[in-house]
Structures are given as structure tokens and as C-alpha cells.
Amino acid sequence: MDPNKYTEKLREALGQAQSLALTNHNQAVDVEHLLSALLDDEGGIASAVLTIAGVDRRTVRDKVAQAIARIPKVTGSGTDASQIYVTQRLGRMMAAAELEAEKLKDDYVSVEHAIIAMLADSGEAAPRLAKLSSTTFDAQLDVASRVAAESPDLYFEIQTSNTYGGESLQALQKAVEGLIATVRTKNLREFTAIMRRGRAYLDVRAAARAD
């Protein structure tokens, strides 16, 4: 793990994960601590992914909190920051995030790379989940396209009645605004990173649909 390669957001999340481990009297920082820290950021990438997927962030947070509660606690004098260590599992996950950044030719390891590594950490369930989510998303997209073309009024009613519609639109708006900001500030590095991530995502989606 090389913090110098991490974005500020990821370093902040790791710091919060360490604080959470200390608060819960855990001797080590693990993946669950980091995931909890990422989910605490309502406007963050992890929360946006869950929102777009139609998953209740609070439900996921509760399950993560339950997992953290099952982690053995240190009794007696307790621990301090100097005694906290990183588990091998979290170390492997962060190493995988660094490899993901290298694969996408990104200069820094970001929250997005960490989330991808977390999915991979789930083992063989990850590719199954990825294929299922891709297939489901593509099917929904095809249906939405047909409905929008044949009956715009009906599609508008469906969208306005969608419980998660407003949150999804806000997440999309935030992503678009971020892209616009990189153009206005002439941030070539960030713009290039966004385009690379988008290209990698579309390549994966195209390969999944071809299977």
C-alpha cells in the first residue's frame, strides 16, 4: 500500500476506516471498515452506485455495521492508532485497486478502483453478479427505449412515479456536472481518466452482451 498513489478522497476514507476500527476497539482495519466509511459519504461514488442500482444505502450500511460488530474487540487498555494494523485482506484489496488503476492507465488510485477491488474480493460471486447486473440493466434499457419511442407520455409517468427516479437523476446530474467542470477548468488529467474509465466500462458491457 502506497498512500502517495491514492487520491485525497481515498486517503480520507482510509483514515475514517482506521478511526472506526479504533472506536469499535478492533485491532485491525479491514475491508468492512473502509466500505462503511465510503457509504457514510452520501454524495460519494459508493452511494451513487447503490442509488443507480436501486439499492437502499441504509440497508447496506446496516449490514456492514452488523459485520463490523462481529469483529473481535480488544479488551483491557484498548488500542491506539499506533497499534492498529491493516489486515492481509484489506492489503490484498488495495493492491488489487492499484493494479486496476494501472490497467486503466490512471495516475492515482481512486475510490472507484477500490470499489472494483471490493467486488473482486467477493471471489467467484463477483463475475456472476457482474453478468447478472449487466444482463438486467441491458434488458431494462431495451424496454425503456421501446417504451420511450412508442409512448413518451407513458414513459414520463413511469419515471415520475419511480421512487428512486429523483435520486438517480441527481446522481447522473452530478456525474455530468463533474465532467463539465473538468472541461471548464481544462483539467486534462481528470478528463482523460474519466474517458478511460468510460471506455473500459463500455468494453466490459459489450463483451458481456456478446456472451
Cα angle, residue 151 at apex, residues 150 and 156 outer, rounded to 5°: 140
Helix (H) or strand (E) holding 3: none
Domain-embedded: residue 160: no
Supply angle C-alpha 116, 196, 41, rounded to 5. 45
Could you give the number of structural domains in the chain?
A: 1
Q: How many angstroms separate the Cα of 151 from the Cα of each of 148, 156, 158, 159, 162?
A: 6, 9, 11, 13, 17
The answer to whether position 133 is within a domain reads: no
Res 58: pLDDT: 81
- Mean pLDDT within 61-81: 79
Sign of CA pseudo-dihedral 99, 102, 108, 112: negative
Whether 74 shows a pLDDT value over 60: the answer reads yes
Average pLDDT over residues 149-169: 59
The pLDDT assigned to 81 comes to: 57
User: Is residue 69 in a domain?
Assistant: yes
Q: Which residue has the higher pLDDT, 10 or 104?
A: 10
pLDDT reading at 73 higher than 80: yes
Return the C-alpha cell found at 67: 459485520
63 in any annotated domain: yes
- Phi then psi dihedrals of residue 6, to 5 deg: -95, 150
SS3 state of residue 202: helix
**88 within some domain:** yes
- For the cut 50, the answer to whether the pLDDT of residue 14 exceeds it is yes
Judge whether residue 209 has pLDDT over 60.
yes
Sign of CA dihedral 27, 28, 30, 34: positive
Pairwise pLDDT comparison (117 vs 170), residue with the higher score: 117
Domain that holds residue 83: 3-121
> How high does pLDDT run on average in the chain?
75
- CATH number of the domain bearing residue 85: 1.10.1780.10
With 80 as the cut, is the pLDDT of residue 53 above it?
no
Residue 19: inside a domain, yes or no?
yes
pLDDT at 174 over 60: yes
| Position 176 confidence tier, pLDDT thresholds 50, 70, 90 | confident
* pLDDT above 70 coverage of the chain, percent: 63
pLDDT of residue 69: 92
Secondary structure of residue 86 in the 3-state scheme: strand
Q: How confident is the model at residue 50 (pLDDT cuts 50, 70, 90)?
A: low
What confidence score (pLDDT) does residue 45 get? 75
Domain contains 79: yes
pLDDT digits (tens, 9 = 90+) for 91-138: 999 998 898 888 878 888 988 888 878 776 655 444 444 444 454 455
In DSSP notation, 131-179 reads: HHHHHHHHHHHHHHHHHHHH-HHHHHHHHHH-TTHHHHHHHHHHHHHHH
pLDDT tens digits, one per residue of 140-151: 555 555 555 655
Q: For residue 203, is it within any domain?
A: no
- pLDDT given at position 126: 45
Total-model pTM:
0.58
Which three cell numbers, joined as nine digits, stand for 194?
Answer: 474519466
Residue 208 has a pLDDT of 65
Cα–Cα distances in Å, from 50 out to 28, 33, 46? 27, 18, 6
CB count, 10 Å around CB of 96? Answer: 18
